[in-house]
Amino acid sequence: MEQFDLIVIGSGPGGYIAAIRAAQLGKRVAIVERYKTLGGTCLNVGCIPSKAWLDSSERYHETVHSHALHGIEVSDVKLNMKKMSERVAKVVEGITGGVQFLMKKNKITVIQGHGSFKDKNTVVVAGKDYGFTHAIIATGSKPASLPGVTVDKERVITSTEALKLVDVPKHMIVIGAGVIGLELGSVFKRLGAKVSVVEFADSCIAAMDVDMGKEIQKVLKKDGMDFYLGHGVTGVTRNGQEVTVKAKNKTSGEELVLTGDYCLVAVGRKPYTDGLGLENAGLKADERGRIPVNDHLQTAQPHIYAIGDVVRGAMLAHKAEEEGVFVAEVIAGQKPHLNYLLIPGVVYTWPEVASVGHTEQELKEKGIDYKVGKFPFLALGRAAASNEKNGLIKVLADKRTDEILGVHMIGPRTADLIAEAVVAMEFRASAEDIGRISHAHPTYSEGFKEACLAATENRALNM
């Protein structure tokens, strides 16, 4: 039986990064992946293809709707969805091929097939046993559904199928105004579909700071997206090419009936451990399907770790990556650190939404005394030059010490701007610290400085 220091099950951003870090630290590593291509949800049917679609659809939308404003007259603009989807597929092919290259470069053995624990020191793949000293479960997640909703993968679809559509839907009904609902809803809206979003909560992206949800809804609504918030979906039926979504207004009890040609179910994701043979290794998933782990990401078997979407916490690629590096270093006897509070979250709509640290709701719940500094993009020279009038940056700082406790941004390129806030918070900066640092002019980053000044003593300079 072939023996490894470490076997990683699953090649998503958690698994493949863990494998690379362990190999860098001198371990003999194997990675098991059930699909032919490496990279997991993120690279194959998640982050990368969705961002590729967002980019292409934004270019199309800009060409049709915004170029004229800049004095660029274009006529006869044609959308070639087939070509657009081929580009997305090429991007995925390139990036997953890159992971294959990285495995080779780091001398990591790739075992293709479904991995399953035979016992607590053996994984079996395609009938062959592989022994391990340590293992990392990085099997990720799958789309969740709702009672009364059958995902047929043709007309009632999840993000996986939505990313492969080659025709623009006439009317796409999206269930869930979370991250996937807003990102993919934006893609199809930009390409010309009517998009209706039905959401149980009273706001969009409800897990983020409340001002972000309000602002993104306002902008997307102005762009023509319809929202039915406070509505719980009760059922979805399909009749030929037509889908009907029924929902109940949770306050009035009134029934909402929407008819379209596609229904995108985007109500969250669930951990994936099917056929993993957890019981053979003496492990058990919890009631939500997650693998329980301690602060070192060890399972009930201390030499078996679990990371990424299959364990508690945010289902984000960079969270999975941080956990992968963390575990590889723990296995190698190092003492790494991981600060979950400072894992940023981004929604790649336009404007983009980005956030790190505590939300205002959380600070209220925890009874922490805080102050708020806000700065609108409208007041920035760089935003005016680019006609980016929507959005704001909101800084929450400790009322007594001025330490930054949370930063929430909605506006142009905030997905990249948030990095400064993460660094500031990692080094426990005060709002005034940032307010006293020079930021190039004119840049969007000045908005963060101004919001910090606003939080310090209400001393924003350009407002």
**Active site (catalytic) residues:** 441
Q: Which stretch binds ligand FAD (CB under 6 A): 8-16, 77-85, 289-297, 399-407?
A: 8-16
Residue 172 interacting with ligand NAI (CB under 6 A): no
| Partner whose footprint covers residue 14, from ligand NAI, ligand FAD, none (CB < 5 to 8 Å by kind) | ligand FAD
Pairing of strands 194-198, 226-228: parallel
Count of helices and strands (H, E) across the chain: 13, 22
Residue 183 interacting with ligand NAI (CB under 6 A): yes
Residues 268-287 that bind ligand FAD (CB under 6 A): 272, 275-276
Residue 328 interacting with ligand NAI (CB under 6 A): no
What whole-number distance in Å separates Cα of residue 274 and Cα of residue 189?
35
Helices assigned H by DSSP within 250-291: none
Among 16, 53, 200, 326, binds ligand NAI (CB under 6 A): 200
Residue 28 interacting with ligand FAD (CB under 6 A): no
- Side-chain half-sphere exposure of 450, counting CA atoms within 13 A: 23
- Side-chain half-sphere exposure of 83, counting CA atoms within 13 A: 6
> Sign of the CA dihedral 392, 398, 402, 406?
negative
Min. distance of Cβ 296 from ligand NAI in angstroms? 23
Instruction: Check if the beta carbon of residue 40 is closer than 8 Å to that of residue 34.
Output: no
Query: Binding string to ligand NAI for residues 285 to 324, with x set by CB under 6 A, is what?
Result: -----------------------------xxx--------
Number of residues that bind ligand FAD (CB under 6 A): 36
Instruction: Check if the beta carbon of residue 371 is closer than 8 Å to that of residue 424.
Output: no
Residue 266 interacting with ligand NAI (CB under 6 A): yes
What whole-number distance in Å separates Cα of residue 280 and Cα of residue 278?
5
| Partner whose footprint covers residue 181, from ligand FAD, ligand NAI, none (CB < 5 to 8 Å by kind) | ligand NAI
Min. distance of Cβ 170 from ligand NAI in angstroms? 22
Instruction: Check if the beta carbon of residue 392 is closer than 8 Å to that of residue 381.
Output: no
Min. distance of Cβ 153 from ligand NAI in angstroms? 16
What whole-number distance in Å separates Cα of residue 227 and Cα of residue 202?
10
What whole-number distance in Å separates Cα of residue 235 and Cα of residue 244?
8
CB nearer ligand NAI, residue 126 or residue 419: 419
Question: Cβ of 364: how many Cβ atoms within 10 Å?
Answer: 11
- At residue 67, what is the residue type? H
Chain residues that interact with ligand FAD, rule: CB under 6 A: 9-15, 32-35, 40-42, 46-47, 50, 114-115, 138-141, 159, 180, 272, 275-276, 308-309, 315-318, 320, 348
Residues at the site binding ligand NAI, with contacts judged by CB under 6 A: 146, 175-181, 183, 198-201, 206, 232-233, 266-269, 314-316, 346-348
